Every structure is written in C-alpha cells, then in structure tokens.
Amino acid sequence: MEKLKPKLFSVMKTYTKNQFTKDMIAGIIVAIIALPLSIALALASGVTPERGLYTAIVAGFVISFLGGSRVQISGPTAAFATIVAGIVARNGMEGLAIATIMAGIILIIMGLLRFGSLIRFIPYTITTGFTFGIAVTILVGQIKDFLGLTLDKTPVETLEKVLACIEDITTINLWALLVGAVSLAILIIWPKINNKIPASLIAVIVAALMVKLGKLEVNTIGSLYEISSKPPVLTVPTFHLHTIQSLIPDAFTIAILAGIESLLSCVVADGMIGSKHRSNMELVAQGTGNILSSLFGGIPATGAIARTAANVKNGGRTPIAGMVHAVVLLLILVVLMPYAALIPMPAIAAILFMVAYNMSEWREFVALLKASPKSDILVLVATFVLTVVFDLVVAIEIGVVLAAILFMKRMADVANIESWKYIEEDNNDDDLSDPENIRLKKVPKHTLVYEINGPMFFGAADKFMNISLDSHIKVVILRMRSVPAMDINALHALKKVLKTCKNRKATLIMSHVQEQPLKMMQKAGFDKQVGEENFCENIDVALERAAGL
C-alpha cells in the first residue's frame, strides 16, 4: 500500500549541497515566473493582486513541504478563475474562504481514504470539455481590459460579458490595444529568443515602461486596485450553517479540480524525472495547503503544470525548490509589491490570453470531436457549453451524470444471454478451434444451457429473465464465465429464474461463477438456495452433473 509520507522526508536522507544549489536556482527562477502569473490569475478570479501571491506563498510552501511529489509547484491556476470569481461575486471573500476550507477538508479525507487512484475515473471527455470551457471563459473575461473598454455594467456571466463588450465597442482605447498587442507579441516571440528569462516578466516591464514614459491613458493595476505589500495574516472566517450548505457544491468542485490537476501535474513530472509520486499524500498536502491558503487570505491552489515543468528544467529535484519559490515570492511581496501598481491591465490581459491558449488544448478538443463515439462527443460538448453558459459546478455535475448514464447504456448493450440451442444453428465456424466452443460439447437432451456475457447490473437485469423452459427440460445451466461482476438487481433476477425452475421441477446449475458474483451469492444465501453441489467449476463438470440428473 502506498505510503502516507511526504516526499521531502524521503529525499532528505540523501540530500547534498550540490542539489541544494540547484534547488535554490530553480526555486528563484520559478518564483520569477510565478510572480506575474499569480497577480494575473488573482485579477482573473475577481480578487486583489496580492491574494494571488498569498496563495503561491502559503499553499506553495505547505504543499511542497507535505506533498507526495519531488518537484510539484503549487499555487493559483487558471482552472479556478471562473469558479472563484463566481463565489466572490455571490458570497464575498469570506464565502470563498469557507468554500476553500471545506474543499481542503474533502481533499484530506480523500487522501486518508486512499482515493488518489480514483481520480482517474473522471472521464477524459469531461476534463477536456471543462478545461476548454474555462479557457474560453478566461479569454472572454479579458477582452474588456485588452481593448481598454469602458462598460456601462460589469456582468459576471460569460455570455453577458460578450454582449456588454459588443454594446460598448465604441469605447475602445487604442493606446490600451497597442500596449496589449505589444505585450502579446512579446509573449509569443520572446520564448523563441530566450527561454531563460520568463516572457511574462519582459512583457509587464515593457508594457509598464510604455505607459509610464509615454504617459499613456491606460488603466494599470494601481489605478483600479489598492496594492498591499503586507505579508499574509491569519484571518478566520465566520461559519454559518446556511452559508456552508450553499457552498457545498462549490467546495466539491474545488476539491475535484484540485485533485485532478495536481495529480495530473504529478504524473507529468514523474515522466520528466523518472520518479513516482504518492497520490494520496499529495491529496492530503493539497487539502492542507488550501485550508491554510484561505486562512491567510489566499484563493484555491493546486499543482501548476507549467511552473512544475519550469522547476524540473532548471534543476529542481526535491521539494526544497518549491519551498524556496514560496520564500522568494514572500520577499518580493514585501519589497517590490508597490511596483506592481505600474503594470498595465492590457499586459495582464495578454498574459491571461496566453494562459487560456496554453490550457485550452484545442487541438485535443477538435481531435476528440472527430474520433470519438457520439455518446462521448455529447458529454464533451455538453460539459464545454455548460461551463461557458452556466458555471463549472453545473458542468461537472451534469457531465458526470451524463457520462455515467451513457456508460451504463453501453454496458447494458453489450450484456446478453444466449441459449446454446441458437448458437448450434449458427453456421459460422470461425471459433471451432476454441476448445470451449459449444459445438464441441455434448449437451444432454433434457438440459438447456444459457451463456451470460458482460456485467450483470440493473441496466441489463431484464435481459437475464429471457429464459424459457419447455416441459421436457429438467436441467438449466447458467454459464457465467464472462460475467466479471453483478449487482443486487441481477441477483434478484437470478432468484426469479431459480423460482421458475423450481416451479417446473427443474434443477438450476451455475457454471464457472467468478469471484465477485460468487461472493455476492454466498452473502445473500443464494448458493444455499441453489445447492452448493450445483455450483460447478466449469461447463464440462456442469454438463456431467446434468447428465446424471
């Protein structure tokens, strides 16, 4: 069983000065990358700039210290932007803090219950759909600042933002558009010139100089927000029962998102350094980090794939790098935060445009549309549309339910029961080389054999009742070698089959019952009702018993 032990405690046994130097350098570089991103993501989430840094500092340090990955870097990510903005708009910062604390508790419970491996059961179509939807939502939310528009109203919903931008397009600020375009060009071109210095840092510096030296009438962070360079301070929100009840869906959404994104980032990092993360410990760390982040004024956090990759590329190999990144950001917050007031809003919008593009995975979205079955396309498109039109909570809830229903339908379609009588009439000889083929078995005249294929569950239970008995039938054999699992509905159907057999004075024989169905039958006492002697290990034994009855 996977250890619930932080990776830090394991790697320190063989830690060296040389690795400490590499971790220090990587931590500083990642902090420089995280600085503009944390500010931009905080603004996209509808909170003040310093709260993004609080998140990267507190959650970044705690999750690296307790985490199950050697190189994971955690902090604010684009995945949370829309849901955080919605919570803040409805419930304020205190509501966000409560939702984040609840999400943290859920994550810790998931880790302690060893649910780390269960995250993979969230369908890929859902994660792709809502990720693309979040990217579109972030992009739409930045159009106003990129164009320097003056809106008559500040809507929260994505479609309303689009309509508001169209209505007030005549208020476009050409200077803002110029600053935004230059920033976007730097973000696209600079990585091809120099990949050591973060493009986002160059973009905000150039944009700030353009506005300051050119005295351009462009909104900056300082003109719209009050900048604070104070370090994070412990603040405990006031809990009310009705607030907790109303925020439960949001808390579960934050927890699921944090779990999915952090473990996905861990998997990517494992491939880069040839290591293996501890998924359950990572969930506990993510939960603890989110709780402390909210208590110190931050927003939800999770593993950030881009920052984690930058950490690995710059030599980070232990959690020390993530802890150094958090400490460096704290120093920047205290010393340099006043200068963040000079950053133009179009530059922030350009950074978020790139974040949205990079996270969208639009090529994968298009590929799924082309190659997936119609049912998967339905889940993909529904999740995407619901994310954009409504919110992430609704999208995930309906997406999961829809995926589950379609999955059950597929399982019900493949599940079937066939009489060997009908198979004998089939002229297809393709499987005659199979020693288990019915044509190679001798079935007694008074015996009827049915073979069940696929899982037996409530979605297909009615199919297993299609068993008819003629008056001369004395034995019914149910061959269950292809039934990996069954539920209580299927067991109820089998009880009806047994009752029918007893009414016709026929014997029911069970052949090759697999482990899970057998345990369920034994627990319910069905094996006693059928007779333990009528449970045969394979079809040959079952046919031999039928011949003797």
The pLDDT tens digits of the residues spanning 225-277 come to 888 899 999 999 999 999 999 999 999 999 998 998 899 889 889 988 988 99
Number of domains in the chain: 2
Higher pLDDT, 41 or 493: 41
Last residue of a domain, one of 311, 330, 359: 359
> Do 100 and 216 fall into the same domain?
yes
Q: Cα(7)–Cα(313) distance, rounded to whole angstroms?
A: 19
Q: How confident is residue 461, by pLDDT bands cut at 50, 70 and 90?
A: low
Q: Cα(51)–Cα(58) distance, rounded to whole angstroms?
A: 10
* Sole residue written with tokens 């229903």: 405
Q: What is the DSSP string of 70-103?
A: SS--EE--GGGHHHHHHHHHHHHHHHHHHHHHHH
245 inside domain: yes
> Do 40 and 152 fall into the same domain?
yes
Identify whether the C-beta of residue 210 lies closer than 8 Å to the C-beta of residue 216.
yes
Range of the domain at 95: 34-359
Q: Is the pLDDT of residue 346 over 50?
A: yes
Q: Over pLDDT 90: what percentage of the chain?
A: 59
Q: Which pLDDT value is given to residue 467?
A: 65
> Do 279 and 423 fall into the same domain?
no
* Three-point CA angle 264, 268, 273, nearest 5°: 140
15 inside domain: no
Q: What is the DSSP string of 326-363?
A: HHHHHHHHHHHGGGGGGSBHHHHHHHHHHHHHHHH-HH
> Do 348 and 470 fall into the same domain?
no
502 inside domain: yes
> Do 343 and 423 fall into the same domain?
no
366 inside domain: no
Burial class (CB in 10 A: 0-12, 13-18, 19+), 515: exposed
pTM: 0.76
Last residue of a domain, one of 359, 376, 407: 359
> Do 352 and 420 fall into the same domain?
no
Mean pLDDT of the region 503-516 = 92
Identify whether the C-beta of residue 387 lies closer than 8 Å to the C-beta of residue 414.
no
* Sole residue written with tokens 């890929």: 124
> Do 355 and 421 fall into the same domain?
no
Q: Which pLDDT value is given to residue 288?
A: 98
> Do 327 and 436 fall into the same domain?
no
Report the candidate in 331, 290, 227, 392 with the shortest Cα–Cα distance to residue 74: 290
113 inside domain: yes
Higher pLDDT, 393 or 104: 104
372 inside domain: no
216 inside domain: yes
154-196 pLDDT, tens digit each:
787 888 899 999 999 999 999 999 999 999 999 999 999 987 7
> Do 431 and 335 fall into the same domain?
no
391-446 pLDDT, tens digit each:
777 888 888 888 888 877 777 777 777 766 434 444 455 454 555 555 557 888 88
Q: Which pLDDT value is given to residue 462?
A: 64
Report the candidate in 6, 47, 71, 85 with the shortest Cα–Cα distance to residue 313: 71
Mean residue pLDDT of the chain comes to 89
The DSSP bridge partners found for residue 447 are 475
Q: Is the pLDDT of residue 52 over 90?
A: yes
> Do 351 and 421 fall into the same domain?
no
DSSP letter at 220 equals B
* Three-point CA angle 419, 424, 427, nearest 5°: 130
Q: How confident is residue 373, by pLDDT bands cut at 50, 70 and 90?
A: confident
The DSSP bridge partners found for residue 450 are 419, 478
Q: Is the pLDDT of residue 223 over 80?
A: yes
Task: Kindly give the pairing relationship between strand 447-453 and strand 416-419.
Answer: antiparallel
Q: Cα(133)–Cα(360) distance, rounded to whole angstroms?
A: 8
383 inside domain: no
Mean pLDDT of the region 314-336 = 95
Q: Which pLDDT value is given to residue 423?
A: 40
DSSP letter at 230 equals P
Identify whether the C-beta of residue 290 lies closer than 8 Å to the C-beta of residue 301.
yes
What's 531's domain CATH number? Answer: 3.30.750.24
> Do 334 and 437 fall into the same domain?
no
> Do 223 and 88 fall into the same domain?
yes
Q: Which pLDDT value is given to residue 490?
A: 86
